[in-house]
Amino acid sequence: MTGKLSRREFLGAASGATAAAVMVPGMSHSIEAPAVHIRQSSKNVAVASGNGLRAVAKAGELMAQGVDTLDAAIEGVKIQELDPNDMSVGYGGLPNEHGVVQLDASCMHGPTKRAGAVGALEGIKTPSVVAKYVLLYTNHIMLVGEGAKKFALSYGFKEEDLMTEQSRERWLRWRANRGERDDWINVERDEQMVPRPTGTINCNVVNSSGDISSVTTTSGLAWKIPGRVGDSPIIGAGQYTDNDVGAAGSTGRGESNIMVCGAFLTVEGMRRGLSPTDAALETLRRVVAASEPRLLDERGQPTFGLSFYAVSKAGEFGAATIRPSRYAVFDGVEASHQDTAYLYERDA
């Protein structure tokens, strides 16, 4: 033996979980080479909820320029936060039952093992960036409500009306359609307003050096009880990153996700060797098992929607939903929509 490892021996060591012993000529004992447990991505990959096609494209573009993974992910989701036509996130997001937009967001930065979050934040268009400021500049992880707003204002964020003409119109119609005998008159009756939309954007990224970050941002459940905070700002539910393993995040019914700490559970699945898709599916099965009967139909299937998106340190990616859907991916070359894995077919 020459003391040099052939390419095949090197790859064997890199993909295995055991340490390779390298004999060095002239030395009587062996030197333990470091064990490499998980292959590292050689490309920049971003995965997001279906509304995140522009987010993954932006994150991919920025990572190619060498921008840090958390900054890349946040610049991606900011597009959606600032888009008045996305009524599930940031500016233009649907409000709570009092007509006030309350935003939730959280993020994690794998390399520095830091996290930040804001809950029920009012008047600031980009809660993901405020969450990043909590991560960067405080010894805390989550700020909520008035405190979160004052924190944002102290850094120069502008307080703005987050309602658009469109979101206000939807809220006014919802308010007028809650009860047959309510006191609202001269408003359009529209039973379609009664279902409660949830929407959110989650984005998880890994770069070609194997560094990982994640972010989730939302206006939460439309027409929620004021003060309700969903899964998005909860570290381990709305998103989670472990720089040795991967990242995962969620959109959909937050309460059901909080019950299983779904983003953390998905990352733990990948740690045990599951692919991102299989880890996300396994988490969804746990969600179903943890659901109270009132949330399941007569077949035992959830009456709500929930999705998980994941990326591994090796650059593998996947997503799973309760019923068939699509998610957004930047695979190192281009951004596209792909089909999710799912638990149940849609009813015909």
Q: Which residue has the tokens 């909590």?
A: 134
How many residues bind ligand GLY, per CB under 6 A?
Answer: 12
Q: Which of 237, 267 has the CB closer to ligand GLY? A: 237
First to last CA, the chain: 65
Q: Are 99 and 222 in contact (CB under 8 A)?
A: no
Site string for ligand GLY, 206-225 (x = CB under 6 A): ------------x-xx----
User: Quick one: which of 69, 204, 213, 232 contacts ligand GLY (CB under 6 A)?
Assistant: 232
Tokens of 208: 């070609």
Positive or negative, the CA dihedral 39, 40, 44, 49 is: positive
CA distances (Å), 185 to each of 95, 96, 189, in order?
Answer: 21, 21, 9
Catalytic residue (choose from 200, 217, 251, 321): 200
β-strand partners of 309:
249, 319
Q: Choose one: 14-22, 34-42, 146-154, 247-255; the region binding ligand GLY (CB under 6 A).
A: 247-255
Q: Choose one: 134-142, 189-197, 226-234, 270-278; the region binding ligand GLY (CB under 6 A).
A: 226-234
User: Quick one: which of 90, 230, 246, 249 contacts ligand GLY (CB under 6 A)?
Assistant: 230
| 102-141: contacts with ligand GLY (CB under 6 A) | none
Alpha-carbon distance of 190 to 135, in angstroms, equals 43
Q: Choose one: 93-101, 128-136, 179-187, 228-236; the region binding ligand GLY (CB under 6 A).
A: 228-236
Backbone angles phi, psi at 231, to 5 degrees: -80, -25
251 binds ligand GLY (CB under 6 A): yes
User: Quick one: which of 86, 122, 211, 231 contacts ligand GLY (CB under 6 A)?
Assistant: 231
**What is the amino acid identity at position 146?**
E
Smallest separation, CB 222 to ligand GLY (Å):
10
Q: Are 320 and 343 in contact (CB under 8 A)?
A: yes
Q: Are 204 and 212 in contact (CB under 8 A)?
A: yes
User: Quick one: which of 49, 102, 126, 200 contacts ligand GLY (CB under 6 A)?
Assistant: 200
Backbone angles phi, psi at 47, to 5 degrees: -130, 140
198 binds ligand GLY (CB under 6 A): yes
Q: Which of 254, 315 has the CB closer to ligand GLY? A: 254
Using alpha carbons, select from 39, 13, 64, 15 the residue that is nearest to residue 330.
Answer: 64
Classified as helix, coil or strand, 251 is strand
The number of beta carbons lying within 10 Å of the beta carbon of residue 112 is 14
Q: Are 147 and 130 in contact (CB under 8 A)?
A: no
252 binds ligand GLY (CB under 6 A): yes
Smallest separation, CB 198 to ligand GLY (Å):
5
Q: Which of 178, 196 has the CB closer to ligand GLY? A: 196
Q: Which of 116, 238 has the CB closer to ligand GLY? A: 238
DSSP label at residue 296? B
Smallest separation, CB 202 to ligand GLY (Å):
9
User: Quick one: which of 254, 262, 269, 332 contacts ligand GLY (CB under 6 A)?
Assistant: 254
Q: Which of 200, 321 has the CB closer to ligand GLY? A: 200
Q: Is 126 a catalytic residue?
A: no
Q: Which of 252, 302 has the CB closer to ligand GLY? A: 252
Q: Are 172 and 187 in contact (CB under 8 A)?
A: yes
Q: Which of 252, 332 has the CB closer to ligand GLY? A: 252
**What is the amino acid identity at position 79?**
I
For residue 324, the number of C-alpha atoms closer than 13 Å in the C-beta half-sphere is: 6
Footprint on this chain of ligand GLY (rule: CB under 6 A): 198, 200, 218, 220-221, 230-232, 251-254
Active site residues: 200
